[in-house]
Structures are given as structure tokens and as C-alpha cells.
Amino acid sequence: MMDIRNLLSCVDHTLLRPNARVIEVDELCAEAVAWRTASVCIPPRHVARARRLHPDLVIGTVIGFPLGYDTTAAKLAEARGALAAGADELDMVIDIGAALDHDYERVRADIAAIRECSSRHVLKVIVETCYLGRDELARLCRIVSELGADYIKTSTGFGPAGALVEDIRFMREHCDPEVRIKAAGGIRSLEAMQQMLDAGADRIGASAAVRLAREAAAAAKE
């Protein structure tokens, strides 16, 4: 039988819609506290308020999101602002076009700059697997490993496809053991979340996890 509480402890409770309102982010954070999710992942403008209202909550936010083609200087400014506002974790999007051009030095420099400014915080590197071939994904796994990022993350959730179990297995094979994996994008059931963890993911990025857990708990009482 699935341990829902244990599953939620691996979930970044997420709200990254462009029309996310303060009341929705407040509710998300309260749910994360009540259900003891691993963290919340929220837009940068909401970080300071979430930190003020929930001093002990692990707060993540996004950098260069969702397209990744911002300049490194812009990403650095965003990262520094997020950390100053109280973020604990940064989910940064790589320069996807540079990766597809095989300009790996540009990709490396981009990640390295954010890693340096967030050296005391958790850094998750979003590679947007739906656009990548296997050789490109393997190369990015090596770069993320070599630069000491904490996580490699599958997707923004804004691309044409999200996390796939086979991608998780492939990334686990090609990343150093110290690099953890975050599966995100299109994960809409508790069973799918568990499948990602079973395949080698360490975190799940999901917006529906708490609602699904609440529904499962209610059904169990009937």
C-alpha cells in the first residue's frame, strides 16, 4: 500500500502559473505546512511574503523560467534577488537553445554562475528533456555533475512534454550518485509520482499532490 505521507515528503508543492494570485500562493504554503511536503516552489515575487508568513517552510523559486534564454547576468540578478528575499532553493532553466546548438561552454558558464551565487543553497538545474536527444541529455548530466549542482530536473511543465520514467532512469545512469533528480511536468497522479521515485527520482514537482492526497484520504474513510 502506498505511503502517501512519505510520498508527500518528496514533493515540491508547486504553483507557477502566470496568473497565480497571492491568495493562491498563501493557500499553497499553508497546505505544504499541513501536509509536510518537501518544499513549495513559487514565483519569485511571492518569496518574501511566503518567508515572512512561514519562517520554517522550505521555499523554492525559479530562475530564467520557463524559457531559459535569459542572459547569465539576468539570471544572476534574479537568483540574488530570490536568495535575498528568503528562498532556500533555486530551480534554474538552462539555455536550451545553446544545448541544442551543442554550445556546452555557454551552458556550463550559465550554470556555474548560478551555482557560485547559490553555494549555500540548493540548486536544481532544469534541462527540459522533451527537447533533448540522448547524447545531449547525457552531456548535460555530466555538466550538472561536474559543476556540483544538487539536482537535475526534467522539465518546466511549460514544454510540449514533461517527465518520463525512462528519462529518470537514463539520468540516474548518467549523473554522479551525489546528484539528485527532480521529476516534474505532467505528473498528475499519486501512482505516477511513486513510479518516478521508484525509477530513481528524489523529488517530485507537482501542483496536484496535496489535492490527490486529500482525496485519497477521504476515500479511505468511506
By annotation, the residues acting in catalysis are 91, 153, 182
SS3 68: coil
What letter represents residue 166's amino acid?
Answer: E
Residues 6+ apart with CB under 8 A from 25: 15, 42, 43, 46, 49, 50
Contacts of 43 (CB under 8 A, 6+ apart): 15, 16, 20, 25, 61, 62
Helix (H, G, I), strand (E, B) or coil at 195: helix
The owner of cell 522550505 is 58
